Structure 1
């Protein structure tokens, strides 16, 4: 079971938030010296200088309440910075786009933002700037991982099938021989008592998956651990693997096995780092070139699918 978050860690996180929001002027009603608070400035930035974006997409991207988003859009519209209309492809969808004045304002906002950041970094040496930007990249990666939730879904659920389609398409481009979707697990193999299917969600979008099925009494098999290109190098594949191991423990399985293609060297390295030992071939998967096994007994209760 994961260790609980300490009071010191919570205090450090909150202390950094207070300092950073004050340092960049997030509390100022006139953010960057312009005539609007940070919320409206951020919405204008997200609308961008293009031909328009749907309010529904903005709501999902920014995680905003529909009423709050509507009020901010009206405030920008009253300043003649945006136009709200109806999507040509769907009259039920409302879109928002910048006016000519809005495009000028976005350009000025970007100029002032760049100047603010340059001013902050200007007091550091080149080595210190590299250290700071590296630390921010690490913080972003870990915060993204913390925000991803992993859920158990039915093997035939739409999100499960969509992930498997993306997984198959990915392998079809990576394997020299291509990949046949007939090799995918069947929904009934990874649902209910027979197994489990995990889907990882980032801001409501499926970004990864993994499956567990029972091979024989006490033995399970992990299949199709996959992470979308935009969510890789976060540590999500390991989290999915740990979640599947937890599901195996919940089903009384003492051993889990898996196989992988020879070209998937990064997957092989991950499995070895997570305690898997290479074993002789145990199946007839035509795409497999390496077979692994891990004994779960004696490791303690697993967390299952982390929320």
Structure 2
């Protein structure tokens, strides 16, 4: 009988083989995966470069190993490491012109490999969903929440997924044009706020804080299916409450629908009190308030 542990170990071996973790020449570029990942982490920052400590934390490397990998990339003429211009106690890593060329080559080859993996699978969407689930689970402690513009690409992605889910789960469907959809300006500082959660740079959750009225209103709380069960919704709400306090708000309100029982339960468990209807939105049937 195939045990759970055996299945996990098979998965680990498959990923190690597919990613070329043991290859001396990752993607045929003449250096192992570790050096390629350091090059990629620096390249993602663009011309500004990346602080060495940030590279270490991002990749989860110890200082000694990172130093050795950086020295190797410097010897190849791909990276320069020098004092940070704003803080002499820190070091800044930048790609050289040759490093930028190598970074672009890795990006192109990685895209080709990913496209081939999807093309060779009979259920590419299911494969991607499974990958999202694993990546969210393994990287749950590295999910970052930060303020974003409600009309940024990441925010629009989250909101589009949110609206699509409501359309599937509401018996009557969902049309955002019929909802009391807050204008983006009401969710920008100093009036309101919009928070996006990212896992390795990819958006996996959001929540908005609508200001400009007698109370702050929580809007559009969404977490990607692959990241659910990791208490990310609670983290988003905690971060939003902190932001509301910073903006001087003392009372928050929100509404939701009984077709989202997990949301109703979360609000009740988090100390929100049910109140009478406070808007004319046709979709919600539960209304909550919380004093900060």
TM-score range, shorter chain: 0.5 to 0.7
Are 2:146 and 1:172 aligned?
A: no
Aligned match of 1:290: 286
CA distance in 2, matches of 1:223, 1:45: 43
Q: How does 1:220-239 map to 2 (within 5 A)?
A: 220-239=216-235
List runs of 5+ in structure 2 lacking aligned partners.
1-8, 44-68, 74-106, 114-134
Aligned with 2:192 (options 195, 204, 207): 195
Change (3 A) 1:264 1:141: same
Deviation at 1:286, TM superposition (A): 0.8
Map Cα deviations across residues 39-71 of structure 1 (whole Å, 9 max, x no partner): 975723799xxxxx9x9xxx9xx9653398xx9
Change (3 A) 1:141 1:154: closer
The answer to whether the 8 A contact 2:137-2:227 is kept is no
Deviation at 1:262, TM superposition (A): 1.3
Change (3 A) 1:240 1:278: same
Change (3 A) 1:63 1:253: farther
TM-score of the superposed pair, with normalisation by structure 2: 0.56
Aligned match of 1:110: none
Deviation at 1:177, TM superposition (A): 0.7
Q: How does 1:53-202 map to 2 (within 5 A)?
A: 65-66=39-40, 93-94=108-109, 144-182=139-177, 183=179, 184-202=181-199
Aligned match of 1:272: 268
Map Cα deviations across residues 222-271 of structure 1 (whole Å, 9 max, x no partner): 01100011111100001111111111101111010000011111001000
Provide the alpha-carbon RMSD of the alignment. 3.7
Change (3 A) 1:63 1:278: farther
CA distance in 2, matches of 1:293, 1:63: 47
Aligned with 1:44 (options 6, 13, 20): 20
The answer to whether the 8 A contact 1:215-1:221 is kept is no
How many correspondences in the alignment? 188
The answer to whether the 8 A contact 1:155-1:187 is kept is yes
Are 2:201 and 1:209 aligned?
A: no
Map Cα deviations across residues 101-121 of structure 1 (whole Å, 9 max, x no partner): xxxxxxxxxxxxxxxxxxxxx
CA distance in 1, matches of 2:212, 2:259: 25
Change (3 A) 1:167 1:216: same
Map Cα deviations across residues 166-218 of structure 1 (whole Å, 9 max, x no partner): 1101111011111112233221110121210000000110000000012523x
Q: Secondary structure at the match of 2:237?
A: helix
Map Cα deviations across residues 21-48 of structure 1 (whole Å, 9 max, x no partner): xxx9xxxxxxx9xxxxxx975723799x
Map Cα deviations across residues 154-175 of structure 1 (whole Å, 9 max, x no partner): 1221211111111101111011
Aligned match of 1:253: 249
Higher relative contact order (CA 8 A, sep 6+): 1
Who wins on radius of gyration, i.e. which is larger? Answer: 1
List runs of 5+ in structure 1 lacking aligned partners.
1-23, 25-31, 33-38, 48-52, 72-91, 98-139, 297-307
The answer to whether the 8 A contact 2:204-2:223 is kept is yes
CA distance in 2, matches of 1:40, 1:266: 37
